[in-house]
Chains A and B, each alone.
Chain A
Amino acid sequence: MKIILSLFILILFSACEDYNSNSADKLKYSNEPQQEEGGDPNFAPAFAVIQNRCTSCHSGFHNNWSTYTSNEKWLNSGLVNRGDPDNSLIIRRTINSGQAGSNMPQGTGAIPDAEFETLRTWILNIP
């Protein structure tokens, strides 16, 4: 019995930080300002939308969007054009152009209008 109890205790304390449906709640829903370095107040809300809507698929080696944690990384990715949401791929791909790769995100409903505007506001105001 002592052995079994010891093993369970071992299991209990060997677990690291577990993730579940709520792991990104702070990032997505907190009212506290979470500005990126450089102080862009629009980044965190936009990044939260991307985390919520895009990274389930865009998580490969070459396009792991969750690692684009600054404006600079997004600009370098070619997906975002500073100040020009209409010519930013990340916006254009969410619109249904009838072409392959458009109408993102695939397999779920369209991005809600408010979240779409969050993305546009971010790109429009990148310092």
Chain B
Amino acid sequence: MKTLILFLLFLLPFKLWAYPNYIGHGYPSCLNCHFNPFGGGQLNDYGRAVSATLISSRTFYPKTWNEEKIAYTSGFLFRKPKQNWFRTQANYRGFTLVRNPGSSSNEDKTWITMQLDVRAVAKFGENDKFIFAGDYGKTPKPQQPIPGLTEDNFRSRNLYFGYRPNKQLGIYAGLMDKVYGIRVVEHIAFSRVVPQVTMNDQTYGVQAHFLNENWEGGVHGFVGNYSQDADLRMKGASTMWERTVAKLHRIGASFLTQKNDYSSITSYAVHGRFNIKDGSALLAELGQAKKSTDNNQDEGTSRYGLLQTSVRPWRGFYLLANVDYLKQDIQKSDYTVRWGPALQYFPIQRLEFRADIYDTRNFSSSTTNKDTWMYLLQTHIWL
């Protein structure tokens, strides 16, 4: 029966993302809360307890419950795990996206199931030095349909083996996100789109993760995603390093180079994650990407920037503000800014409501553009 349930869970259609702004809670390293040391993917037991006792509101928990009891209920299906070697998680995230709200001719309202997945981690050895992690779930229809490809499919975004002989060093091999920049939740951020590190850009490869008191970083060699044709697979290497400053903040730098049979991209960025205390944080990233293509289309160097503030007025609530910048071609004066506020609310652990407003403005020396507005209302449930 247990086997059957596990099997059925894996057949269910899929992404819990990293929240790098939790440096505001005093967690500079993703390794505290995630099995993947660079963030994203499944939460570990400690991460689950943090999400229950620090991130989520306690309004809906009985007043007689202390934080310890709340933490005990943070496991899969509200249970404290009965064994130490296997952990699982299921996620659903869907949202209403409204483009051009209020426009009689152009308003476009869509419901998107962004995430519907199951995840599992098997861990063995002293201090869980061996882990085997995977997930499987539904991938939403791409914004840019690709002729000849299935528009809606199921896939694994993580499938890797990890060996961590000690806290300072970890080696991971398999399908993972590329190591680069700040792994923000907003996968449409230019800081993710331009260097091609979005929600679907995982690759097979080997990562090494290093951690000590003042430094954290990693190197990643990769060979592309084997579920793609060989000519499309991006092969390359990346690295990202962060230094702890004043015990609270992180400043870092990244480099990524990748190539397939038709294009190549070399990206580099500097970033900072700053703890503003009491759960509030500031994230900033500035980078450039140089792209070359066989037929010279889309060639050139782009510059991008990200600024995100996260303010926690009280437990369970976060007020976010995003500013996203893109200069598609640094030789030209035209650039694009997308900005807007967001409200994030965690009424209880396992439940997140989020509302975002985005305004996109193009600054051009040759044309005048109208702003483009959109908003999204999302619900995220995880077990």
A residues with a Cβ closer than 8 A to B are: 1, 3-4, 7-8, 10-12, 14-31, 45, 48-49, 51-52, 55-57, 59, 64, 66-67, 69, 96, 100-101, 103, 106-110, 112, 114-115
- In the bound complex, residues from chain B placing their C-beta under 8 Å from that of A115 are 297
Q: Which of B57-65, B150-158, B306-314 contacts A (4 or more CB under 8 A)?
A: B150-158
- In the bound complex, residues from chain B placing their C-beta under 8 Å from that of A3 are 3, 6
A29–B263 contact, CB under 8 A? yes
Residue-by-residue, is B78-100 near A (CB-CB < 8 Å gives 1, otherwise 0)? 00000000100000000000011
B residues with a Cβ closer than 8 A to A are: 3, 6-7, 10, 86, 99-100, 103, 105-106, 108, 120, 122, 132, 134, 136, 139, 142-147, 149-150, 153-156, 159, 193, 196, 198, 200-202, 225, 227-229, 231-234, 260-263, 293-295, 297-298, 326, 328-329, 334-336, 338, 360, 362, 364, 366-370, 372, 374
B228–A4 contact, CB under 8 A? no
CB-based nearest A residue for B2: A3
**Contact among A17, A48, A56, A69 for B150, CB-based, below 8 A:** A17
**Contact among B7, B297, B326 for A29, CB-based, below 8 A:** B297
- In the bound complex, residues from chain B placing their C-beta under 8 Å from that of A27 are 146-147
**Contact among A16, A49, A52, A109 for B334, CB-based, below 8 A:** A109
CB-based nearest A residue for B335: A109
In the assembled complex, the CB of B81 is this many whole angstroms from the nearest CB of chain A, namely 15
Alpha-carbon gap, A13 to B150, bound state (A): 16
A110–B334 contact, CB under 8 A? yes
- 23 example contacts (A-B, Cβ-Cβ < 8 A) are as follows A1-B122, A7-B7, A15-B153, A15-B156, A16-B150, A18-B225, A20-B225, A21-B193, A23-B149, A24-B144, A29-B293, A29-B294, A31-B294, A31-B295, A49-B297, A55-B144, A57-B99, A57-B108, A59-B144, A106-B100, A106-B106, A109-B334, A109-B362
A103–B154 contact, CB under 8 A? no
By secondary structure, the A interface counts as loop
- In the bound complex, residues from chain A placing their C-beta under 8 Å from that of B10 are 7, 10-11
In the assembled complex, the CB of B198 is this many whole angstroms from the nearest CB of chain A, namely 6
Given contacts A16-B154, A17-B153, A22-B263, 17 further A-B contacts (CB under 8 A): A1-B122, A3-B6, A7-B7, A11-B136, A18-B225, A19-B149, A20-B196, A22-B232, A25-B260, A28-B293, A29-B262, A48-B297, A52-B298, A59-B143, A67-B147, A96-B369, A107-B338
CB-based nearest A residue for B118: A11
Alpha-carbon gap, A13 to B297, bound state (A): 35
CB-based nearest A residue for B146: A23
A100–B159 contact, CB under 8 A? no
Alpha-carbon gap, A45 to B232, bound state (A): 18
B369–A18 contact, CB under 8 A? no
Known contacts A11-B10, A25-B263, A55-B145; A4/B362 CB under 8 A: no
Alpha-carbon gap, A15 to B137, bound state (A): 10
In the assembled complex, the CB of B320 is this many whole angstroms from the nearest CB of chain A, namely 20
